[in-house]
Amino acid sequence: MQERTPFRGRRVPLAAACVLALLPAGPMGAPADMMGAAADWRTPAEKSDYRETPRYDETIAYVRRLAAAAPRQVRIETFGRSGEGRDLVMVLASKDGVFDPEALHRAGRPIVLVQNAIHAGEMDGKDASLALLRDIVVTKEKAALLERAVLVVIPIYNVDGHERFSAHNRINQNGPRETGWRTQGRNLNLNRDYMKAEAPETRAFLNLWNRWLPDLFVDTHVTDGGDFQYDTTYGIDTGPDIFPAIAEWNRNVLTPFLESSVRAAGQIIGPFVNLKDDTDPAQGLRLGQDQPRFSTGYVNLQNRPAVLLETHMLKDFRTRVRGSYEFLRALLEVGNRDARRLVEMSRAADAATVTAGKRHDAAARLPLRLASDGTTEPFLFRGYRSKVTESEISGARRIEYTQEPVEITVPRQVALRVSLAVAPPLAYIVPVQWGQVIEALQAHGLRLLRTARPWEGEVEAYRCEGPIWHGRPFEGRQVLFQPGEGGGRSGATPGTCAPVRERLAFPAGSVVVPMDQRAARVAVHLLEPQAPDSLLAWGFFNAVFERKEYAEPYVMETLARDMLAKDAHLKEEFEQRLAEDREFAASPEARLDFFYRRSSWWDARLGLYPVGRLASLDGIPIAGER
């Protein structure tokens, strides 16, 4: 691989560096070296010749130094605390010192949010962001990137994982010498937590999001997976779940601009590589739904363009940081160039969501699940020659990559179809006793109304049957195989949730979630049980599937005989089941349960999803204004 020289930054004589160390501390503990000719503004990664990435304290010290050098353009804020008690820090960069998000929105200035190190072993974006901030506000080489846009950078999102430093945290990754860990302090993957929002870091992020409402978002990562020539890859969604104007801009403006600009800077860039077969790249690339458990999938629901940056793990650290730098630089360039369009798209998408919620068109359907429609196009894949052998170690097929470049034309899936959609209600109603569910809704900043007194009425609900739980916990939860999801364990069929009309009682203080709000799509994905990352799928409602009352066999024997004597149709159904279902016929428990389920003693709430769907708010005693 071609060797690259360090980019940006200056080397200074040892004597000058010693002078810097003796300078008095400036604001927030930063050295007051300001812009002296002897100042060494190399980032910590650059100083180590890309052998090291800075720890948390060193990273924060560098951004404080930036703020001290450009106090009118840079502000540092804490937006929360991690589980282990570290500050979650964001760096704000504005050309004229305007840092109030409401003022920025009024002025029509786009806000670009860069999130780094959500997987804290994947820190390329952090080091690239430090260099880019320096080149914007100190060297001024990239000052034009703030001409219209305002930049919000989270240098390290997963701060606790970042400080679990080790040389053995990323087996697949080529440098730096030591890195952080993938998960946060409770071993939760923050990039699976955006919907269930259980980690303190996630709730802090959601507060940040709702305060700033960015117009463009990028999440920086380092890949796992196969080997190929690309050092910089990206994911940008354009499917049927994306607001049409945003999907068009993503497809026809953002994607080609990023490709051409980053390629012109000397990087090898391509779309995110998701191979259909990890041992046979020739089978091509697949496309799937960007679920809202992930950062970019969540931002899609928030009506904003979302970009995934993935540098390639096997490229050296210098190359990866440079790729991240050029990608973020290009993203800010297009964000400035299309500033007005970005802001208008955000406003239009939010307004359309609110209008749809007010209108409550029963024919309008919101996508919940997407799948490839099978459409492919030829794609010139820049890979490495490889061969597949049978491994005597694992017993599986083993792919062995060479470093011989090869270009092959492969099929690439390019379009998604809606595989499951739902007509949203006018509002949802959640019983007050489901406090953990209500806390999750509050964490997302959704507008919630409360009932002033008990209310009982007929609502649309769901009755869910045949749930199957994963055999092991996932992200700290006992989660369901999602209703409607294909496959299962040992040939089992996942459960289904069917709509029903039920008369339900809701105590005072129950929560009404109206759909005439900008984040209504988030609420739908949280509360529709068949959505891929619904709170039901994440196990928040597991108790509704637990049977709490049982009948003794000798009691059921008597009841069953009485039921058969009084109901000829029931007798016919029972005898037919005996004749056609050998497993049923051989099970005394199943045979008695057949009658228990059809008796008035059966628990009518078992499997009944307790969240109601409302077509009207008439008669519902909502406290205060609606």
Give the pLDDT of residue 38.
Answer: 56
Residues 558 and 485 in one domain: no
Q: Residue 436 in contact with residue 309, Cβ under 8 Å?
A: no
Residue 17 has pLDDT above 50, yes or no: no
**Strand duo 449-450 + 269-271: pairing:** unpaired
Residues 590 and 539 in one domain: no
Containing structural domain, residue 249: 68-343
Give the pLDDT of residue 482.
Answer: 55
Residue 491 has pLDDT above 50, yes or no: no
Give the length of the chain: 626
Q: What's the rounded Cα separation, in Å, for the pair 283 and 420?
A: 27
Residues 494 and 588 in one domain: no
Residues 98 and 156 in one domain: yes
The last residue of a domain, from among 309, 343, 377: 343
Give the pLDDT of residue 626.
Answer: 46
Residues 524 and 576 in one domain: no
Which range among 26-40, 144-158, 163-177 shows the weakest confidence by mean pLDDT?
A: 26-40
Give the pLDDT of residue 493.
Answer: 40
Per residue in 552-599, pLDDT (tens digit) is 999 999 999 999 999 999 999 999 999 999 999 999 999 999 999 999
Q: How many domains does the chain have?
A: 3
Q: What's the rounded Cα separation, in Å, for the pair 514 and 447?
A: 7
Quick check: is 62 in a domain? Answer: no
Give the pLDDT of residue 466.
Answer: 84
More confident residue, 34 or 156: 156
Residue 177 has pLDDT above 80, yes or no: yes
Percent of the chain topping pLDDT 90: 89
Q: Residue 74 in contact with residue 141, Cβ under 8 Å?
A: no
Quick check: is 49 in a domain? Answer: no
Residues 72 and 122 in one domain: yes
Looking at every residue in the chain, the average pLDDT score rounds to 92
Question: Mean pLDDT across the stretch 435-452?
Answer: 98
Residues 335 and 433 in one domain: no
Give the pLDDT of residue 495.
Answer: 65
Quick check: is 47 in a domain? Answer: no
Residues 539 and 564 in one domain: no
Cα dihedral across residues 329, 243, 150, 194: positive or negative:
negative
Give the pLDDT of residue 33.
Answer: 43
For residue 312 the two structure tokens come to 């390639």
The last residue of a domain, from among 327, 343, 359: 343
Quick check: is 7 in a domain? Answer: no
Residues 124 and 248 in one domain: yes
Quick check: is 138 in a domain? Answer: yes
Residues 539 and 590 in one domain: no
Question: Mean pLDDT across the stretch 18-26?
Answer: 35
Per residue in 209-223, pLDDT (tens digit) is 999 999 999 999 999
Question: Mean pLDDT across the stretch 333-360?
Answer: 97
Residues 182 and 279 in one domain: yes
Question: Mean pLDDT across the stretch 237-249?
Answer: 98
CATH number at residue 111: 3.40.630.10
Which range among 60-69, 494-503, 537-546, 604-613 shows the weakest confidence by mean pLDDT?
A: 494-503
Give the pLDDT of residue 624.
Answer: 63
Residue 30 has pLDDT above 90, yes or no: no
Distances (CA, A) of 12 to 9, 22, 68, 181: 10, 15, 20, 33
Quick check: is 253 in a domain? Answer: yes
Q: What's the rounded Cα separation, in Å, for the pair 624 and 214?
A: 30
Give the pLDDT of residue 471.
Answer: 86
Give the pLDDT of residue 35.
Answer: 46
Quick check: is 407 in a domain? Answer: no
Percent of the chain topping pLDDT 70: 91
Q: Quick check: bond before 499 cis, omega within 30?
A: no
Give the pLDDT of residue 232.
Answer: 98
Encoded amino acid at 468, one letter: I
Quick check: is 560 in a domain? Answer: yes
Question: Mean pLDDT across the stretch 369-388?
Answer: 97
Residues 116 and 219 in one domain: yes
